[in-house]
A and B are shown apart, each in its own frame.
Chain A
Amino acid sequence: MTLLKVNSLKKYFSVQKGFMTNPLTLKAVDGIDFSLDDDKIFALVGESGCGKSTVARLILRLIHPTSGEILFRGQNIFDLNGDSLKAFRKSVQIIFQDPFASLNPRRNIYDTISEPLKIHRIIEKQNMKNKVVELLSEVGLGPDIMNRYPHELSGGQRQRICIARALAVSPKVIVADEPLSALDVSIQAQILNLLQELKKEYKLSFLFISHDLKVVHYFSDDIGVMYLGKIVEYAKTDDLFVKPLHPYTELLLSSAPKIRLGNEKTSLHAKRYTLSADKLEVPSPINIPPGCPFHPRCPKKFEPCDKVVPELKETNGRLVTCHLY
């Protein structure tokens, strides 16, 4: 069943460059559609500045879109207010990238985790402590951590606290915005396993935002590849990694460093297409190129690419915005 549906969502910001000049428009999210089903993991991948975190903030209703709608169980979340809004907030929670910045340094762990329980009146005061202990053990932490402050904890422990805080209100959807990138390799695996266990136990759906393709491949069911505010390819995770269709997806996959075992020669110049000097940079979202936004960097561009904006097309059950298909 579709839990969350995003329809032609757009978010433009206006950027004032000088005092007397007209503000410029930054198209952070430029018309994207996707849906998240019950008990599924949808991953958004893309480089910095492509708008993936803006999508996360829109889904949490932290900001309002320029146009478009987000349906949660068939209801547009931007029409909600009062009690229905509160119920929505309970169903969608977020885990941020930086567990150092997302915990209040003046609050101990008990206060941090019990706050959502108090706000949503989930549990009576006398049972609060037990509930917090239960949540902590759920994320693999002992009860003695309750009286400590964030600065006393390591990055991995802090990220566990953030997960416990998100779980406190028994959400349906968790938006995880680069939850692993601030952590060390050995800790990343711990957190990834934890997220997987919790997903199984609570039947959670995830919107998983990441730039780490290895992790996305391992963790997600469906993928949307974002480039300059648009989803350029939309596919089942396994299909995407077997055969990327969009040249940008291809570039992303070939750019990720890989560990090859055996006596295979590991060389940087292996199958990787290189870009020439003037194609290196991601254009600014203020000044998106006409036609296909990827065409200045695309090695496969041809006639219509710099003029006509490609539509999202279906080829063999896959969705891609590219003139090649």
Chain B
Amino acid sequence: MPLLDIKALHIFFRSMNSPIKVVSDLNFEIEESEVFGLVGESGCGKSLTALSIMGILPKNAYSEGVITFKGSNLLKLDKESMRRLRGNELSMIFQEPMTSLNPVLTVGYQVAEVLTTHRGLSKKEAMDNTIELFRAVKISSPEIRIKEYPHQMSGGMRQRVMIAMAIACKPSLLIADEPTTALDVTIQAQILELIQKLREEMKMAVLLITHDLGIIAENAQRVAIMYAGRLMELADVHELFNNPKHPYTIGLLESLPKEKGIPLKPIPGFVPEPDKLPPGCKFSDRCRFAKPECKQHEPELRAISSFIPRPSSFHFVRCIRAEEIT
């Protein structure tokens, strides 16, 4: 049984007229201790998916569907049981480590709070544990650092504190929403390496959300590509990069600079607003492979036959011409 199973998830924003659908019919599973990558451009709904798993969608949004985590449907849980899961079994790190820490409390207190809340430790025990956690995330001289405030730390250090807080209760699933976008490359490499190391040690699954395909290639085992609130392609990471089938995925890969002098092939146009999506396939207005029928019916996400060594991983694509495209 997968650790997390998302079935027919829809996310809506309330608006003056009818609700606006921003995520539509999302289906995927995350196995225990795997790194699952979710890729997409801004506004494609990847962060909303994460917030919906955590049960912290903004007030003007709501979700429908089933999110099964360890046998229980997260969307049907009452507030109290959800609160007990969050920070304990399920935890999340965010893109901006400055805004996700409380500026008026010491970082040590903020990490220890997780332990006193969920593990019922005393303040003293929690602080001792926090020092250990800081050591685990490679913060130097943790005894001194726990007494510091977020503004005294650099971005990389703050993200380490966030990770310490997220792993304090040894969660089964860590959601990392653009964990390194605000950081420099050298620090980014260290943070990703740290997440990988902790994942191996603690047998924790990671939902890695990013727009950087390079990060995905190096860190994820399976990848889902999202566009305009839909899953467009889902495959094993090697399969996806060696044998991309959806025109959007191909477009993303061709947008990356490779050899000097070879002109880039960008995807024309721009991402449509969620209330102004084209009929039929949502990518059809930017797709160079589009045929008239693409603009009429939205294709289903379907498994395609391919040369995959392991039968457990299939290749799913939402495109009617996937077989013809290479």
B7 within 8 A of A: no
Q: Which residues of A contact B156 (CB under 8 A)?
A: 280-281
Place the interface of chain B in its size category: 35 or more
Q: How far is the CA of A196 from the CA of B189 in the complex (A)?
A: 30
**Per-position contact with A for B140-176: 1 when CB-CB < 8 Å, else 0?**
1000000000000010110000000000000000000
B27 within 8 A of A: no
The interface of chain B, by Cβ under 8 A from chain A, is 41-42, 138-140, 154, 156-157, 184-190, 192-193, 196, 211-215, 217-219, 237-238, 241-242, 251-258, 260, 263-268, 270-271
Q: Which residues of A contact B255 (CB under 8 A)?
A: 185-186, 188-189
Verify B265–A189 contact, CB threshold 8 A.
yes
Verify A257–B218 contact, CB threshold 8 A.
yes
Q: How far is the CA of A266 from the CA of B189 in the complex (A)?
A: 14
Q: Could you tell me the distance in whole angstroms from the C-beta of B317 to the nearest C-beta in chain A?
A: 18
Verify B266–A280 contact, CB threshold 8 A.
no
Verify A157–B257 contact, CB threshold 8 A.
no
Q: Which residue from A187, A218, A257 sits with its C-beta under 8 Å from B215?
A: A257
**Per-position contact with B for A225-265: 1 when CB-CB < 8 Å, else 0?**
00000000000011000000000000110111111111100
Verify A256–B270 contact, CB threshold 8 A.
no
Q: Which residues of B contact A196 (CB under 8 A)?
A: 263
A118 within 8 A of B: no
Q: How far is the CA of A71 from the CA of B212 in the complex (A)?
A: 39
The interface of chain A, by Cβ under 8 A from chain B, is 47-48, 154-157, 184-190, 192-193, 196, 211, 213-215, 217-219, 237-238, 251-252, 254-263, 266-270, 272, 274-275, 277-278, 280-282
Q: Which residue from A184, A217, A267, A272 sits with its C-beta under 8 Å from B271?
A: A184
Verify A266–B260 contact, CB threshold 8 A.
no
Q: Could you tell me the distance in whole angstroms from the C-beta of A235 to the nearest C-beta in chain B?
A: 15
Q: How far is the CA of A269 from the CA of B188 in the complex (A)?
A: 14
Q: How far is the CA of A266 from the CA of B157 in the complex (A)?
A: 27
Verify A259–B190 contact, CB threshold 8 A.
no
Q: Which residues of A contact B270 (CB under 8 A)?
A: 154, 156-157, 187
Give 20 CB contacts A-B under 8 Å: A47-B186, A156-B270, A186-B252, A186-B266, A189-B266, A190-B266, A190-B267, A192-B257, A214-B214, A214-B257, A217-B260, A238-B260, A255-B189, A256-B185, A256-B214, A257-B192, A257-B212, A259-B256, A268-B196, A269-B193
Q: Which residues of B contact A270 (CB under 8 A)?
A: 218
